[in-house]
């Protein structure tokens, strides 16, 4: 067996356990169903296009903002983590890992084969949901911005792969199923809830530290906002959200989406003049790709040293 064989076996196991079927039905309802409801009931006729749902929605004055991509990102990340977090530790605890490694498989084949297999399970089910959403738009008269929509589907695939990679990493480093489960819940909580606090707190902490150093000036207000945005988009969920937003609008609007009104007034002129490289689309895309590459490498580095 090889990496390909491990991935194929993992995918067949998902078929036999109907895990793939369940995920496909779930994404069909979430992505396809919500799109059909939006274009079939809530928004009809002229002006109904894919940007209406998948782009940014901001009320006048910035009092309310909604991102369908942001909501979908939270769901995709959770499903990908749940799908991948037990992939290795389950086999270790059941004893089938030794059988798997008794065949001509290396530990590298197992780690990266599991990554490929679980990624296929999530992405195939997700794609079915996006295809249903596409037909829902077409049949209800909605105008599809095909280039932006294809870009969004591709970015959604990258986000799903990133969180499968994180799940594989957790599974490879955990010592028990319970530890893998709690690590998964904790990490998801950090990405989904706590990251904004970190992004706000780090510049303030740095300013507090600078204030203690004689002769050193604190960060200016613009620098604080830029640092906060930089930290914010190190989060794969936020990186995905802003990259999708950029497909349907300007880069400046995408970076400042969900920023406070004061922050927008302060930093918008700066970004309109020139977007720093660490807030540019290619850099944020590189951040998202790094979340795909680094976690499984860390997981493999740990797993190859584990005494099974």
**Model confidence over 208-222: pLDDT tens digits?**
888 888 777 788 888
Average pLDDT rounded to a whole number, residues 67-87: 90
Indicate the angle between helix axes 68-84 and 107-139, nearest 10 degrees. 150
Q: What average pLDDT does this structure show over 165-175? A: 93
Asked if residue 298 is part of any domain, the answer here is no
Residue 299 within any structural domain of the chain: no
Q: For the chain, what is the domain count?
A: 2
Q: Which of 192, 217, 244 is the last residue of a domain?
A: 192
**pLDDT per position as a tens digit, 26-35:** 888 989 888 8
Same domain, 55 and 170: yes
Indicate if 167 and 201 belong to the same structural domain: no
Residue 29 lies in a domain: yes
Residues 231 and 175 in one domain: no
Q: pLDDT class for 228, splitting at 50, 70, 90?
A: very high
Q: Is residue 211 part of a domain?
A: yes
Is residue 302 situated within a structural domain? no
Is 300 among the domain residues?
no
96-133: pLDDT as tens digits? 887 777 777 788 988 999 999 999 999 999 999 999 99
- Domain membership flag for residue 295: no
pLDDT value at 291 more than 90: yes
Assess whether 95 and 235 both reside in one domain: no
* Nearest alpha carbon to residue 73 among 226, 200, 243: 243
Do 175 and 211 have their domain in common? no
Name the percent of the chain lying above pLDDT 70. Answer: 95
Instruction: For residues 120 and 236, state if they share a domain.
Output: no
225 shares a domain with 171: no
pLDDT, position 61: 56
Question: Pick from 138, 169, 192: which residue ends a domain?
Answer: 192
Share of the chain above pLDDT 90, in %: 43
DSSP 234: T
Task: Identify whether 126 is part of a domain.
Answer: yes
Can you tell me the distance from the alpha carbon of 18 to that of 22, in angstroms, rounded to the nearest whole number? 6
Domain boundary residue among 157, 192, 227? 192
pLDDT value for 294: 97
Position 50 pLDDT exceeds 80:
no
- In this prediction, residue 60 has a pLDDT band, given cuts at 50, 70 and 90, of low
**For residue 123, what pLDDT is reported?**
94
Q: Are residues 185 and 207 in the same domain?
A: no
Looking at the structure, do residues 237 and 199 belong to the same domain, yes or no? yes
DSSP state of 32: I
Is the pLDDT score of 58 beyond 70? no
Give the CA-trace dihedral at 215, 217, 218, 223, to 10 degrees: -150
Question: Are 52 and 168 in a shared domain?
Answer: yes
Q: What is the pLDDT of residue 59?
A: 58
* Model pTM score: 0.90
* pLDDT attached to residue 86: 87
pLDDT band at residue 202 using 50, 70 and 90 as cut-offs: very high
How many helical (H) and strand (E) elements, i.e. helices and strands, does the chain have? 16, 2
| Average of per-residue pLDDT across 68-74 | 89
Query: Residue 180 pLDDT more than 80?
Result: yes
Looking at the fold, whether 10 and 97 belong to one and the same domain comes out as: yes
Do 173 and 226 share a domain, yes or no? Answer: no
3-state secondary structure of 217: coil
Long-range pairs, 85-88, Cβ under 8 A, ≥24: 85/167, 85/170, 85/171, 85/180, 85/181, 85/183, 85/184, 86/171, 86/177, 86/180, 86/181, 87/10, 87/114, 87/117, 87/118, 87/167, 87/168, 87/171, 88/114, 88/168, 88/171, 88/172, 88/299, 88/303
- Given the structure tokens 């609007």, which residue do they identify? 253
Q: What domain range includes position 198?
A: 194-285
């Amino acid at each position: 067996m090889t990496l390909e064989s491990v991935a194929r076996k993992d995918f067949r196991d998902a078929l036999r356990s109907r895990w793939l079927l369940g995920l496909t039905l779930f994404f069909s309802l979430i992505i396809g169903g919500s799109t059909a409801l939006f274009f079939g009931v809530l928004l009809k006729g002229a002006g109904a296009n894919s940007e209406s749902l998948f782009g940014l929605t901001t009320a006048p004055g910035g009092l309310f903002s909604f991102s369908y991509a942001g909501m979908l990102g939270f769901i995709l990340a959770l499903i990908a983590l749940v799908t991948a977090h037990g992939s290795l530790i389950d086999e270790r605890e059941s004893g089938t890992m030794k059988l798997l490694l008794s065949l001509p498989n290396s530990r590298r084949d197992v780690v990266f084969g599991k990554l490929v297999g679980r990624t296929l399970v999530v992405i195939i089910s997700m794609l079915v949901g996006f295809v249903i959403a596409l037909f829902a738009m077409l049949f209800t008269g909605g105008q599809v911005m095909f280039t932006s929509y294809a870009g969004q589907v591709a970015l959604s695939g990258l986000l799903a792969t990133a969180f499968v990679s994180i799940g594989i990493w957790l599974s490879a480093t955990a010592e028990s199923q319970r530890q893998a489960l709690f690590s998964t819940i904790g990490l998801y909580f950090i990405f989904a809830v706590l990251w904004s606090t970190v992004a706000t707190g780090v510049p303030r902490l740095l300013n507090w530290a600078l204030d203690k150093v004689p002769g050193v000036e604190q960060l200016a207000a613009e620098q604080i906002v830029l640092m906060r945005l930089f930290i914010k988009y190190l989060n794969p969920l936020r990186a995905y959200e802003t990259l999708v937003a950029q497909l349907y609008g300007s880069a400046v609007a995408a970076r400042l989406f969900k920023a406070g009104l004061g922050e927008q007034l302060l930093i918008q002129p700066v970004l309109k003049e020139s977007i720093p490289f660490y807030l540019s689309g290619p850099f944020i895309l590189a951040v998202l790709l790094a979340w795909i590459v680094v976690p499984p490498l860390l997981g493999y580095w740990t797993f190859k040293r584990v005494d099974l």
